[in-house]
Structure 1
Amino acid sequence: MARRDLSGAVDFAVLERMTGGQDAITDEVLGLFGQQAALWSPMLDVREEGWRDAVHTIRGAASGIGADQLAEACQTAESSDKAGAPPLLDRVRDQLEIALADVAAFRHEIMLRSLRG
């Protein structure tokens, strides 16, 4: 994976402005995003009592790293009723997967930069 693998689902300029362009901090924030995704994504199911909390938390994390499409999908799902939520939660999962792939590619790029010195 490398920068060429980025889909554009995450605007890393948002994150780099927040971190001052410091690779170590950027990488740490992206790692935390991945941990949040792993923790909350199993709850993206209306059969889970906390599905709205999960969507809300992922939405905040997505906004923080510039994953606007994911944040939008989360906002739509969060404001839906339980009956209409399943296809919206599918969209959240799809957007999360795309964002996580971009995060992995960007973290790989950070790692390569650190090797180059």
Structure 2
Amino acid sequence: MFVYKMPTEIVFGRKSVSETGNIVKKLGGDTALIITDEGIMKNNLLNNIEASLKEANIMYLIFHEVEPDPTIQGVKKATELLKEIGAKVVIGVGGGSSIDTAKAVATMATNEGEIFDYE
């Protein structure tokens, strides 16, 4: 027998970022780490996400040091920040490198070892 279950919720659509704070609360978080890159920061593309988090009284920090082809050091640095602030939710914003870094950080937040242990 084979059972496959993936309880993933995808929220998309116009102005969907305005629900970010509510989604973080629904996930049981009161603190979040946003993972992105410098380009997203420079272009103020987090404004609506930040507004939603503030409205929902979610504390957050932004890790904006993601580089193309993310490094183990970058993942470690972001994971340390996540643990330091006690964030229960990781929000990846941007392209593939930011999303990959966010996934790696979320994995390392609750697992031992090194990220390459989970290839």
Q: What is the TM-score of this pair, normalised by structure 2?
A: 0.31
Q: What is the TM-score of this pair, normalised by structure 1?
A: 0.31
Structure richer in strand, relative to its length: 2
